[in-house]
Amino acid sequence: MRATVKGRVAVFHPQGFLDGNNAPSFLTIDDIKATEALNVDMLLVSLKKVIFFNKNGLDVFVRLLLSIRNQKHISIGLCDYDSVKFKTINSFYGSNLNFSLFRTEKIAELFAPTNKSDSKTVLLYNEDPSQRSAMAIELFDYGHNPVIAQSKKEFDEKKQNADLYYAIIEDTYLGLFGQKIATRVTGNAIIYTIANFLDAEIGNTFNIAYHNNSLNVGFRLFIFDAYKVVSMNVHALNFFTKLASSAAEYNATICFVGLTFEKTPVSFKNDLEDAGMMFFDTMEEILKNKELLQELGGSSASATKHTRSLTKTLVNELPHFIDATVSTIAMMTNAVATKTSVNIQTLEVKETANQFASSIGFYGDVDGIIILVFPKNIAKKACELLIGEETDDEEAILDSLAEFVNIIGGRAKALLGEKKHIVDITLPRTYEDVDALMQMAQNKKGVQVDLSFEGSNFIFFLTR
């Protein structure tokens, strides 16, 4: 059984009966290897379709989760259960419960360290005050707005107005959390939340691949929310200095907000400033000052002034990327997309109205970004198999479009792998209009392929 990956959350979905006898059969050696190779921040087992489970059955999955957490410092847990199953799991593990429990997958996603969604208002209750606080802090760190009920009575009252909340968090438990540094995207700035004493461990908990990808796809402002940092040692200082050097290559800015120097040596501040880091007292100083934001590079996720040119290797692999796109469309729609023109140019979209766009980056032996621009009706058609029903819900279509480009990215990765080019793919990104895309791609030179599909045209653009 393979986990399904959405964003940076991977979920196993076993069905039926789960016990000590059959559970090992769900995870072959290949499945375990594939899971270990996933580039995710959270790994879960959904119990939604499991009608019976016992501790031996759960233990098989839990052992895999714990082993991967030890290697990769990701969050792990079980999700999608009702109150009865929640009590059963608690009775199995008692005080040894060292993984998380999320009543739904939607709740779990709120706690995913790399959070690209908007701030959500959620209602939260847990009878254990320490759990309540831990969840509230985590949610807050991830940019959400938790409304905390202090008593069951207050919770039940607030629950009556369910429409006010994106999610109602109950029957949830945070076990050994904060494995990765919380990351969220606000506008075009990326905010990392760091806390406590910073030492060499930051090299494990900071998602450097995500950071590098963000630089590659055009983010230029990175903020460390350091209100809760007590102090740091020289190893952490070295880490931040190296980060500043790599950011300088992209003309990006890295800021610290709220860092105090009561216990951190002031000399560290000087070293970090020399490396190009900036310091602010409050987040508002940056995010609410448009001029400053523009100066720092956070007004748009645009490319740098020095655009990265296409490489010969990348151009040589172009047929593979087009194949990946065309074959994915054929797979999803049983219809054929045909190439009408190929040009090396900057991205040119003639029809800008009623278009959706999406992009996915890849990095490794070769690096680049695939951009697709579709008329909305074609995007909908291409995603019909994933959506499943007739819908005009743009959010659902964009979500499916992200899954769609993820498949293309996966295919491109496999095709490149056959040519011994090892690459990894970034999270897919979607754009509800062409303007948002052009902010990122306007100065980038690349290969534009116009494709025709069921009488309409769409654009494939490969760039760096």
Footprint of another protein on this chain (CB under 8 A)?
1-2, 4-6, 11, 13-18, 21-22, 25-26, 28, 48-52, 328, 330-332, 334, 384-386, 388, 403, 406-407, 410-411
* Shortest Å, Cβ 306 to another protein: 35
* Choice between 11 and 310, CB closer to another protein: 11
Sequence-distant (6+) residues with CB within 8 A of 321 are 370, 412, 415, 460, 462
Q: Which stretches of 211-326 are assigned E, i.e. beta strand?
A: 221-232, 253-257, 278-280
* Shortest Å, Cβ 380 to another protein: 14
State the maximum Cα–Cα separation within the chain, in Å, rounded to a whole number: 66
Return the closest-CA partner of residue 110 out of 153, 54, 174, 59. 174
* Shortest Å, Cβ 418 to another protein: 13
* Shortest Å, Cβ 75 to another protein: 20
Distances (CA, A) of 253 to 40, 223, 228, 303, 432: 26, 8, 21, 14, 27
* Choice between 275 and 387, CB closer to another protein: 387
C-alpha 108/C-alpha 100 separation (Å) is: 9
Q: Other C-beta atoms within 10 Å of 396: how many?
A: 16
* Choice between 80 and 141, CB closer to another protein: 80
* Shortest Å, Cβ 113 to another protein: 20
* Shortest Å, Cβ 425 to another protein: 11
* Choice between 220 and 411, CB closer to another protein: 411
* Choice between 333 and 346, CB closer to another protein: 333
Return the closest-CA partner of residue 255 out of 267, 247, 265. 247
Q: Other C-beta atoms within 10 Å of 105: how many?
A: 17
* Choice between 27 and 244, CB closer to another protein: 27
* Shortest Å, Cβ 464 to another protein: 25
Q: Which helix (H) or strand (E) holds 138?
A: helix 129-141
* Choice between 186 and 391, CB closer to another protein: 391
Burial class (CB in 10 A: 0-12, 13-18, 19+), 329: buried
Sequence-distant (6+) residues with CB within 8 A of 166 are 110, 120, 121, 122
Distances (CA, A) of 337 to 149, 369, 414, 452, 463: 53, 20, 21, 6, 21
